[in-house]
Amino acid sequence: MKKLNFEAPINSLSLGNVSINFLRAIYEKKEDIDLTMFPVGERAEFTAYDKIDSNFKNWITNSAFNRLKKYSSDSPTLKVWHINGSEKQIGRNQYLYTFYEVDSPTEEEINIVKAQKHVFFSCSEAADIFKEKGCDNVSYVPLGFDKDFGNVDKDYGMEDTVHFGLIGKFERRKNTQALIQLWLNEFGNNSKYHLTCLVNNPFFKEEHYKKAISTCLMGQDWNNISFIPHLKTNSEVNDLMNSVDVNLSGLSNGEGWNLPAFNSAALGKWPIVSNCSSHKDWATKENSILVEPSGKQPCYDNLFFKEGDSFNQGQYYRLDGQDIIKAMKKSIDLAKTPNKEGRKLQKKFTYKKTIDKIFKTIFK
């Protein structure tokens, strides 16, 4: 039996969803893998995972509870985390799975990456950027479709309404404000269309979030846009994604994968996706409505990307507003049709394949 230390966050955020799916794939190999679980932050939060199997959950909690009895620094460690903070290692042989969204690795980032046994990036472009900086211990390993998501046989009462959705934390990188304002200028107060926004950002203070939404609305009243509060469970998120015809979450300037846009396409919905960064690893003209970037721009927003920091420096892509509007208009004809090529993503990208590829490197 192969021993493995696993350090990752268990929470409702995107890294938590990735970690749970990694663990689910490892659980399927539990006869071959002796897992020692190290939850980031010393605790695991399972609230979002309302469909989780009780035996699987018990396996995780037991692995965490007994970790110091079984722990060996000689065992390989798979860590799911940002580059920032991954210099901290619980074993001698750490393998990092991480995400990168810009284009100019700092000395600190390069040094941390080189200090790992191997680094798996969720984006092929990110892996190539670090290879160009002399990191010969990196590779690209894609994510997969989350089995907690699936099609729902439900009437949402929107047969005569094209339902747009924007899902993902409010952030300049994701063009949240710009997308909402572009959509309102084109479709606002038109009953044929509706936009639902799930754009809470857990790193925002409440007053900051309210001010951001107020700015998006441009001081006007709109009768066909709704902002919904944080959804506690993946079942609720899945329900929302099934109700949406056109998903705008892919119109980002840079992504490490983009779970909302990917899952939407895999459910047979139509995402509008910027043809850049990690999107190029899964989005095609057959399964998505692609928007070509119009160049690059500095990434700094003084919140998540601060100029002069030791991490996340450089540029991400830029999208043109008129190109986005053209894509929104194009999506109307596709909105009520099934995305057959999108559904194929469920089998093309699986977490079993992800873990198999990772283990091929760890246990070679």
Per residue of the chain (364 residues), what is the pLDDT tens digit?
A: 999 999 999 999 999 999 999 999 999 998 999 999 999 988 899 999 999 999 999 999 999 999 999 999 999 999 999 999 999 999 999 999 999 999 999 999 999 999 999 999 999 999 999 999 999 999 999 999 999 999 998 999 999 999 999 999 999 999 999 999 999 999 999 999 999 999 998 888 889 899 999 999 999 999 999 999 999 999 999 999 999 999 999 999 999 999 999 999 999 999 999 999 999 999 999 999 999 999 999 999 999 999 999 999 999 999 999 999 999 999 999 999 999 999 999 999 999 999 999 999 999 8
Here the tokens at position 298 are 């500095």
Q: What's the predicted TM-score (pTM) here?
A: 0.96
The predicted structure's pLDDT at residue 99: 98
The predicted structure's pLDDT at residue 360: 98
Give me the domains of the chain, ranges plus CATH numbers.
2-144+349-362 (3.40.50.2000), 162-348 (3.40.50.2000)
At CB < 8 A and 24+ separation, what contacts does 284-292 make? Answer: 284/341, 286/341, 287/339, 287/341, 287/342, 287/344, 287/345, 288/250, 288/261, 288/342, 289/327, 289/330, 289/331, 289/334, 290/327, 291/251, 291/319, 291/323, 291/324, 291/327, 292/323
Question: Do residues 6 and 75 make contact, with C-beta atoms less than 8 angstroms apart?
Answer: no
Question: Do residues 70 and 36 make contact, with C-beta atoms less than 8 angstroms apart?
Answer: yes
The predicted structure's pLDDT at residue 88: 96
